[in-house]
């Protein structure tokens, strides 16, 4: 029999594998597993976007050929564009998609899926425009 003092530790040990998420997201079945995988995919996409954005910001000096396209103005314009893009993505994916799902159990997966797709598209766009 487990003592009362050991019970919380035992429960924690048994809960740890479930909290970590599925080993293979192709096998995700429960809502929790699907949410975990969708969040993991979004974080990976966001990491790629941040790298592409940093690269684009560093390339503005290389493209500063003629006025009025000075590097400072270009960086400011790119920053403004990126912030507007993030606001649009979030409004569409977090607000509109969530309403389309009426707050059901698939809402998080649908919202994160939307954010992942749009984030990967934006990453591709920045890479095409600013990488060699």
What is the CATH code of the structural domain delimited by 42-130?
1.20.1270.180
Predicted TM-score (pTM) of the model is 0.77
pLDDT at 14: 47
Closest by CA position to 123, among listed 64, 63, 42:
42
pLDDT at 75: 87
Residues with Cβ within 8 Å of 33's Cβ and at least 6 positions away in sequence, in order, are 21, 22, 25
pLDDT at 16: 46
How is the chain split into domains, by residue range? 42-130
pLDDT at 97: 93
pLDDT at 44: 98
Name the one residue in this structure whose structure tokens are 């159990």: 105
pLDDT at 107: 95
pLDDT at 63: 58
Chunked into runs of 10 residues, the chain (132 residues) has average pLDDT values of 53 49 82 94 98 91 60 87 98 93 92 98 96 77
Rounded to an integer, what distance in angstroms lies between the CA atom of residue 92 and that of residue 88?
A: 6
């Amino acid at each position: 029999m487990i003592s009362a003092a050991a019970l919380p530790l035992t429960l924690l040990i048994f809960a740890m594998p479930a909290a970590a998420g599925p080993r293979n997201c192709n096998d995700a079945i429960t809502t929790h597993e699907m949410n975990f995988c969708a969040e993991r995919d979004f974080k990976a996409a966001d990491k790629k976007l941040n790298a592409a954005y940093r690269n684009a910001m560093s390339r503005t000096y290389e493209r500063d050929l003629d006025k009025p396209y000075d590097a400072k103005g270009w960086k400011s314009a790119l920053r403004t564009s990126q912030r507007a893009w993030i606001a649009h993505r979030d409004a569409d994916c977090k607000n509109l998609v969530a309403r389309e799902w009426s707050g059901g159990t698939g809402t998080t997966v649908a919202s994160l899926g939307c954010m992942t797709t749009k984030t990967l598209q934006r990453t591709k766009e920045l890479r095409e425009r600013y990488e060699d």
